Chain A
Amino acid sequence: MTTMTYEQAMEEFDPVFGIEVHVELNTKTKMFCGCANEFGAEPNTQVCPVCLGLPGAMPVTNEKAVESAIRLGLSLGCSIRESSRFARKNYFYPDLSKDYQISQYDEPTCYEGALDVVLDDGTVVTVGIERAHIEEDAGKNTHVGGSGGIQGADYSLVDYNRGGVPLVEIVTKPITGMGDRTAEVARAYVATIRDIVRALGISDGRMEQGSVRADVNLSLRPKAVAGESQDDIPFGKRSETKNVNSLRAVERAVRYEAARQAVLLLNGEPVIQETRHWHEDTSSTTPGRSKEEAEDYRYFPEPDLLPVEPSREWVEELRATLPEHPAKMRARLREEWGFSDLEMRDAVAADALVLIADTVAAGAAPQAARKWWMGELSRVANDREVELGSLPVTPAAVAELQGLVDSGRINDKLARQVLEGVLAGEGSPAEVVAARGLEVVSDDSALEAAVDEALASQPEVLDKIRDGKVQAAGAIVGAVMKATKGQADAGRVREIILQRAGVEG
């Protein structure tokens, strides 16, 4: 056997998985120094002796980052450790300026939580949280030469602007018993984390920019036979798939790895415990370094940083600032918007909820906002194979577009052309309307001229209308719309035709 589907794999085996999510905090400064934490600056312009790892530089914790980590931990139902400390994780890699990463090891700030994740059909799955610890991000390597990947590269270039940016790494306990819903649960879990960090306002939560990143661990074990308990069957060897940076990819990575491992196991070959890399273009994974040999990080307590001991009063104050859980928010929004279960489920599945909410907040009616995101924009996102939120259009622009429709300046057909312009980077909806001259023509003299011209070539229409066949006007409306490239106000055109026929609409 050389290939099988995810569904076939799930019939043969019992999957166990775990997810590590790295959340980049949106603090103004880095975790241990005052350099700006901002995406997109010129390389190596947001660096200092601390984040470059120069000798003698001393790190100091960013209080806001600690606060964000505690709020996130509380949102995940975690306990907050009375005394937590930092540790050095030692390894050599050029994106790590100090040759160690400051992280937390045996005393993470947040531990032992549980998070309810709601699936598309409303099923609630509780995911156990092992820990949520604070650490710093690494810099960014760019490989030069060869194919642009690391293999065969001639050399690499390093930008440390991201080095030292605060991260919270959330680690789940092993998740079992999900069977063929494993991929769906994995996706929904990461989506929930992303929704939570956005609701908390502690991260941009933009997966495509890497501010939320997932590693997916997956293993397969035999299914229990009659008289056997599934819990008694030990876990299989797992792979850890890195760089899974979209919700769609989380689901695909689980599906790919499950099918890959199932084929190995059915052929009597071992699954190797290793890190694998996710490739978005081919929706597949390839092996990285194998775990046993490389992973000896020789953690030890960071002597340059003091323990973090949040007072219980502070923790309770922070608990009081927590926003609504995404599942509760979903129920509330469905109520407020009056969406059907199906509409709501589709919006959640398409990851459009926040986009719709933001569009409504910008002034659009809920159904109109839903229609744009779930209709035209979903189609474009599908065509381009990107996530809805990655499209180059903001909720505010969609609300503006709908406003133009509501005011009668453009009709639905023109609105789609305007949207096309917005997506092509031509500016805001109003700018596209102006630049492309897309406004609805409701100027009577222009419309009358167009109607008369159409009637001149089909004079029999007027007689038909006078004979009571009012629907014959449709041919003229169509001709006028064609002549005006869809910009005519169809209702007004119809009125003019009826006037010409001497009939009242």
Chain B
Amino acid sequence: MSTLDRSDVARLAALARIDMTDADLDRLSGQLDVILDAVAKVAEVAGEDVPATSHPIPMANVHREDVVRPSLAQEAALSGAPDAQDGRFRVPQILGEEA
């Protein structure tokens, strides 16, 4: 049985940069537990002979040739940006970390 307590949810929320109220945390820790339990049931069914599956469709090696295709124009690339300057995306001050 999996258990996800309130502090786990708070940590995940912080990692995902999602602001949560205390009420959100209480509600979601219960809900996420239900989801994890459901997944755990699948693990019970899968025996040793069933490998973990990341890709359900048995396909591999779908590659692309190394050929240049047109890119967006700078104006188009920046068109959805909240702010831009000198052909670049302008972002707020990055605090606490270094490039």
For A78-115 the 0/1 string (1 means CB < 8 A from B) is 00000101000010111100000000000000000000
**Given the interface contacts A156-B93, A156-B94, does A92 sit within 8 Å of B17 by beta carbon?**
yes
Within 8 A of A (CB), among B40-80: 54-55, 57, 59-74, 77-78, 80
B28 to chain A, nearest CB (A): 17
Q: Given the known A-B contacts A35-B69, A61-B63, A142-B88, are A85 and B54 also in contact in the complex, defined by CB atoms under 8 Å?
A: yes
Tell me which residues across on chain A come within 8 A of B54, comparing CB atoms. Answer: 85, 301, 303, 307
Chain B, Cβ-Cβ closest to A157: B88
Q: Which residues of B contact A61 (CB under 8 A)?
A: 62-64
Are B87 and A28 in contact, CB atoms less than 8 angstroms apart? no
Chain B, residues 84-99, CB within 8 Å of chain A (1/0): the string is 0111111111101111
| Contact, CB under 8 Å: B64 / A63 | yes
Whether B15 sits at the interface, judged by CB under 8 Å, is yes
Q: Is the CB of B61 within 8 A of A28?
A: no
**Any B CB within 8 A of the CB of A328:** no
> Judging by beta carbons under 8 Å apart, are B15 and A307 in contact?
no
Give the number of chain A interface residues (Cβ < 8 Å): 58
Majority-rule SS of A interface residues: loop
**Closest residue on chain B to residue A301 by CB atoms:** B54
> Closest residue to B62 on the A side, CB-wise?
A306
Tell me the A149-181 residues at the B interface (CB within 8 Å): 149-151, 153-160
Which among B69, B70, B72, B92 has the highest number of chain A CB atoms within 10 Å?
B72
B74 CB contact (under 8 Å) in A42, A93, A143, A308: A42
Q: Are B77 and A52 interface neighbours, CB within 8 A?
A: yes
Cβ contact within 8 Å between A48 and B71? yes
With both beta carbons as reference points, the residue of chain A lying nearest to B89 in the complex is identified as: A158
Which chain A residues numbered 8 to 59 have a C-beta less than 8 Å away from chain B? 27-29, 33-36, 42-49, 52, 54
Q: Is the CB of B15 within 8 A of A47?
A: no
Question: Of A54, A95, A154, A159, which is within 8 A of B87 by CB?
Answer: A159
Contact B65 A47 (CB under 8 A): no
Residues of B within 8 A of A154 (CB): 93
Tell me, rounded to whole Å, the shortest Cβ–Cβ distance linking B20 to chain A.
Answer: 16
**In the complex, A309→B94 CA distance in Å?**
40
B97 touching A306, Cβ below 8 Å? no
Task: Report A-chain residues with C-beta under 8 Å of the C-beta of B91.
Answer: 94, 155-158
Interface membership of A442, Cβ < 8 A: no
In the complex, are the beta carbons of B86 and A157 less than 8 A apart? yes
- Complex Cα distance A274/B62, Å? 39
Contact B77 A44 (CB under 8 A): yes
Q: Check B71 against A29 for contact (C-beta < 8 Å).
A: no
- Interface presence of A296 (CB below 8 A): yes
User: Nearest-CB distance from B6 to chain A (Å)?
Assistant: 18
CB-based contact B93/A155 at 8 Å: yes
Interface members, chain A 112-146 (any B CB < 8 Å): 141-143
- CB-based contact B71/A141 at 8 Å: no
In the complex, what residues of A have CB within 8 A of residue B57's CB?
306
- Bound CA–CA A28/B62 (angstroms): 18
Given contacts A44-B77, A94-B91, contact A141 B66 (CB under 8 A): no
Using a CB–CB cutoff of 8 Å, the interface residues on chain A facing chain B are 27-29, 33-36, 42-49, 52, 54, 60-66, 83, 85, 90, 92-95, 141-143, 149-151, 153-160, 277, 288-289, 294, 296, 298, 301, 303, 306-310
Binding site for A on B (CB under 8 A): 15, 17, 54-55, 57, 59-74, 77-78, 80, 85-94, 96-99
A-B contact pairs, 11 of them (CB 8 A): A34-B67, A43-B86, A44-B88, A45-B73, A47-B72, A61-B64, A83-B60, A93-B94, A155-B91, A158-B90, A289-B97
